[in-house]
Amino acid sequence: LCSDVRRRIQEKIAQTFGISSSAMYLTKPTFFSRINSTEAKTTHDEYWHPHIDKMTYGSFDYTSLLYLSDYAEDFGGGRFVFMDEGSNKTIEPRTGRVSFFTSGSENLHRVEKVHWGTRYAVTISFTCNPDHGIGDPVL
């Protein structure tokens, strides 16, 4: 299932950005996130700060998020916000919704603090550098 989901997301990103999916490699960290209203214990837990994935993770060229819970039903807050000059663009997570974007400075973003409930998502990232590629996770 994980490999199939990764492949489908990879193909859609490649199609959207006009590149070959064979030139994209899964990269780390690919991770499951569970965000709730508990206080951050480390700076890595402070997800609400604006950031650029390429600067934060280094190997990311394309970032995707697969949402596993619903905004306003399973949690409050926790929307994904692209911080564009002049007007932000906000994505409301919905179970099964996938959002993806290039990971560079053109996509400064953050996640709103979760006020109640739990927000679940999987981040699946890709690189165009085969040296930073990893295999699919083995369960």
Largest CA distance in the chain: 44
Strand ranges across the sheet with 62-67:
25-35, 119-127, 62-67, 98-102
Give me the residues of the chain with pLDDT under 70, please.
139
Q: Please state, in angstroms and rounded to a whole number, the distance separating the CA atoms of residues 122 and 84.
A: 24
> 63: closest CA among 12, 127, 16, 4?
127
Strand ranges across the sheet with 80-82:
89-91, 80-82, 109-111
- Residue 116 has, within 13 A of its CA and on its CB side, a CA count of 4
pTM above 0.85, yes or no: yes
Residue 139 has what pLDDT? Answer: 62
Residue 78 has what pLDDT? Answer: 96
Look up the CATH architecture of domain 1-130: Sandwich (2.60)
Residue 29 has what pLDDT? Answer: 87
Residue 13 has what pLDDT? Answer: 98
Give the DSSP H/E element, type plus range, for residue 100: strand 98-102
Residue 41 has what pLDDT? Answer: 86
Entry field: residues in the chain: 139
Amino acid identity, residue 107?
N
* Distances in whole angstroms, Cα of residue 20 to Cα of each of 6, 41, 68, 136: 15, 40, 28, 19
Which residues are tagged catalytic?
Answer: 119
